[in-house]
Structure 1
């Protein structure tokens, strides 16, 4: 048994049992290590995306990478059911093809979709996967998930085109992502994040012909989707 791996797993278990966040002292005590040794292992886990720090918070939180693994093994159906009403409302109010997507490793996975009733429309991509860099929804995740972005630039730097970093920064600033025929000629898209307990866990997207989704119309769609995504982020009340 490799001791460093065992200790890293024990640390993740300690953080999970503490409710998803724990201080360095709590983690070190939980696994029986000196704080300096625990800090070195935690730094490795942080660089790999399994844990992360929040601004102004000294605790270590479970990172997007391990949360994505948890989602893959058992959370997809629950997330789809929870966000289906918001997706249906988006479809009704926009009359365009809309979809729900989540980060899955270094790819985008399309969890759910509703096709537009119009003759000229974008097709549903439910159940499909796409590379993270390139599409509006993928760039959205890179903008709002720093650990994922760092990993993508470290591992896939040769395949990421110039200007992507600046585009990601712009998406983070404006709160949504736009794709004007970059991913597919004749197709425009917009994507907005969905937050759960302060974390971006999924994204809503909309796609349609560029002849209909002008720049002005895309901005209108983004506003509608952001409002509905915000409503869907509200705590469930019993």
Structure 2
């Protein structure tokens, strides 16, 4: 029994070494010197419990949402995740794109839960990313009170040219955030990576608690029905709001 626990923890630690890169069963088993059948059974249990996620048949394994809840040590994150799972699964089914739910932690956008599409070419983003550098982070910043944004700037500075190319001053930052706040919508294009991100707010008892976003390759964004994409995103956000309130 103790040995099985050690093996399960070894698997989680191995996957966590590069959490954005799905690892196939064979690679995991061989790296730890495990029988493939034994490894598959342990992974199946971890997937069932939500600590590991399998990205479709033969696509490999990544950390599951419960692993991140553990590290956050915050029941609030768990509530957000549970309120969002069904709506986000449906959003990914409708759009066939990756979606993520995020909160603001210091200067970082932190993912609480994510869903994956069945596309051959997918956009992957790190669990933590500077808020200025993501649509979800910008949305979360924009919905803060002005005095809180002032403190954020004082503590973390203005965005660099690489982080937010359209913003070069405090005045431009406030103008950009004000527009996002009014429209309750953030659009980010990462030109050098040909990626587009869109985000909307999630509210809990009237207060913005998280952001819901979709990230996709630029060529698919240009070819898709953008109005329908945004409508699907807003509809999912409203479903999550209802679950939280």
- TM above 0.5, yes or no, is yes
2 CA distance for matches of 1:235 and 1:211? 34
Q: Which residue of 1 aligns with 2:140?
A: 141
| CA 76–96 in structure 1, closer or farther in 2 if over 3 Å, else same | same
Contact kept in structure 2, 1:97 and 1:206, CA below 8 Å: yes
2 CA distance for matches of 1:79 and 1:173? 24
2 CA distance for matches of 1:164 and 1:223? 27
2 CA distance for matches of 1:145 and 1:117? 35
1 CA distance for matches of 2:211 and 2:73? 16
Count of paired positions: 164
The counterpart of 2:235, out of the listed 220, 227, 231, is 227
Secondary structure at the residue paired with 1:151?
A: helix
Contact kept in structure 2, 1:190 and 1:218, CA below 8 Å: no
Deviation at 1:215, TM superposition (A): 8.3
Deviation at 1:231, TM superposition (A): 2.3
TM-score (norm 2): 0.61
Q: Unaligned regions of 5+ residues in structure 2, if any?
A: 1-71, 161-166
2 CA distance for matches of 1:181 and 1:219? 20
1 CA distance for matches of 2:177 and 2:110? 19
| CA 217–155 in structure 1, closer or farther in 2 if over 3 Å, else same | farther
Runs of 4+ aligned residues of structure 1 deviating over 6 Å after TM superposition are none
| CA 180–218 in structure 1, closer or farther in 2 if over 3 Å, else same | farther
2 CA distance for matches of 1:131 and 1:111? 15
Deviation at 1:206, TM superposition (A): 0.4
Q: Which residue of 1 aligns with 2:152?
A: 152
- Cα RMSD between the aligned structures? 2.3
For residues 95-117 of structure 1, the C-alpha deviation after alignment (integer angstroms, 9 at most, x for no partner) is 10111111112211011111120
Q: Which residue of 2 aligns with 1:172?
A: 181
Secondary structure at the residue paired with 1:211?
A: helix
| CA 216–168 in structure 1, closer or farther in 2 if over 3 Å, else same | farther
Contact kept in structure 1, 2:102 and 2:136, CA below 8 Å: yes
TM-score (norm 1): 0.62
Deviation at 1:171, TM superposition (A): 0.7
| 1:195 pairs with 2:236 | no
